[in-house]
Structure 1
């Protein structure tokens, strides 16, 4: 059964380190694959270095790659850019788990990428053998 937690964001396009919260959802004796999944179409999860300048670079890169305006979906609710940015990154990450620990590399963290904030986001975490 997945464990869920909520992340509140405070900017339209930003990143939030959720590594500790994902790790806390992994059972102490878990061995297998941990999957974290953000339950929204305008947010994403990535494994990346949690360094403030790089996190800013990620947001800047997405803003430059996908223009804020000029998309057909904007006629509906004005956030097509958010959907497109999240589509590029994807809603989930899979990380090996051993003895209840995430097998992340030295500089790897799990980041939630907010593309349409500020919002409250829900992340589901499950471990499969």
Structure 2
């Protein structure tokens, strides 16, 4: 199963928890759910979705990786996006318990856009034990 996410800014986060949870099949009692963003300039992270923290996370990525001054920029001007996405990683794996994502109280799955605005594809795969 996959779904599209359209972003509106160059560097932003989008809460995709509900869309990933919707991909957990009915009847899956226990297992794992892996979400994977199929792009080299976006990533996924499990983190709190509080707006100020999301802004702090975006600022952190800007501070760690400068916007300019990278060799790849000669090709298409987005080396910063590739580097930021590599820090985040393209996937997350979340346990499934009692048919639902077993996230902690404050945990959400965020898509981290590093080269927007764009439309991104997130692929979701689940494996596990079905209810009898």
User: What's the TM-score bracket when you normalise by the shorter of the two chains?
Assistant: over 0.9
Bigger Rg, structure 1 or 2: 2
Unaligned stretches of 5+ residues in structure 1: none
SS at match of 2:66: coil
1:21 aligns with 19
Q: How far apart, CA to CA, are the structure 2 residues paired with 1:55 and 1:6? A: 21
Q: Check the 8 A contact 1:28/1:101 in 2, yes or no.
A: no
Q: How far apart, CA to CA, are the structure 2 residues paired with 1:121 and 1:71? A: 24
2:111 aligns with 112
Unaligned stretches of 5+ residues in structure 2: none
Q: How far apart, CA to CA, are the structure 2 residues paired with 1:99 and 1:26? A: 11
Mapping of residues 19-98 of structure 1, within 5 Å: 19-30=17-28, 31-98=30-97
How far apart are residue 99 of structure 1 and its match? 2.8
1:122 aligns with 121
Q: How far apart, CA to CA, are the structure 1 residues paired with 2:48 and 2:98? A: 23
SS at match of 2:94: strand
SS at match of 1:97: strand
Aligned residues between the structures = 127
Q: How far apart, CA to CA, are the structure 2 residues paired with 1:28 and 1:42? A: 32
Q: How far apart, CA to CA, are the structure 2 residues paired with 1:91 and 1:60? A: 19
Q: How far apart, CA to CA, are the structure 1 residues paired with 2:91 and 2:65? A: 20
Q: How far apart, CA to CA, are the structure 2 residues paired with 1:33 and 1:20? A: 16
TM-score (norm 2): 0.95
